Amino acid sequence: MNLLQQLEAEHIAALGKSIPDFAPGDTVRVGFKVVEGSRSRVQAYEGVCISRRGGNNLNASFTVRKISFGEGVERVFPLHSPNIDSITVVRRGKVRRAKLYYLRSRRGKSARIVEKTNYKARDEAAAAK
């Protein structure tokens, strides 16, 4: 591990955030801090993760797509942003691509993603051993 990777790993460890294991196709709920005037609140943004980039680096990000009032809305979140309060995996999706940009041109039932039913979380698998 070179010096840059070591510094980045130390910085990520100093942030102290626990980021769940999620991949494109998973439905995630992101709690995002929103500042309105003098007060701040946490706004939930739930949708399908259509891409991840940057691995687990400091500059990693992921894109979440949802349908709001019949219109597709995408938002890019930096993975280690201080404005992200929480990331929760709602359901796991069964997909065969790393980037799900084709969902942009799909409507209705063709835009659905089949749920993974045989998924076992790493924590559950470790506890079972």
Domain boundaries defined on the chain: 3-104
Cβ-proximal residues to 113 (8 Å cutoff; 6+ apart), any chain: 25, 27, 48, 93, 94, 95, 100
SS (H, E, C) 31-60: EEEEEECCEEEEEEEEEEEEEEECCCCCCC
**With bands split at pLDDT 50, 70 and 90, how would you rate the model's confidence at 125?**
low
Give me the pLDDT at residue 9, please: 86
pTM of the model: 0.84
Nearest Cα residue to 116 out of 21, 19, 27, 18 = 27
**What tokens does 8 get?**
């980045």
49, 28 contact by CB (below 8 A):
yes
Give me the pLDDT at residue 26, please: 95
Give me the pLDDT at residue 92, please: 95
pLDDT in tens, 51-90: 999 988 889 999 999 999 989 999 999 999 999 999 999 9
For residue 13, what is the enclosing H or E element?
helix 3-15
As a CATH number, domain 3-104 is 2.30.30.790
Give me the pLDDT at residue 5, please: 86
Percent of the chain with pLDDT over 90: 64
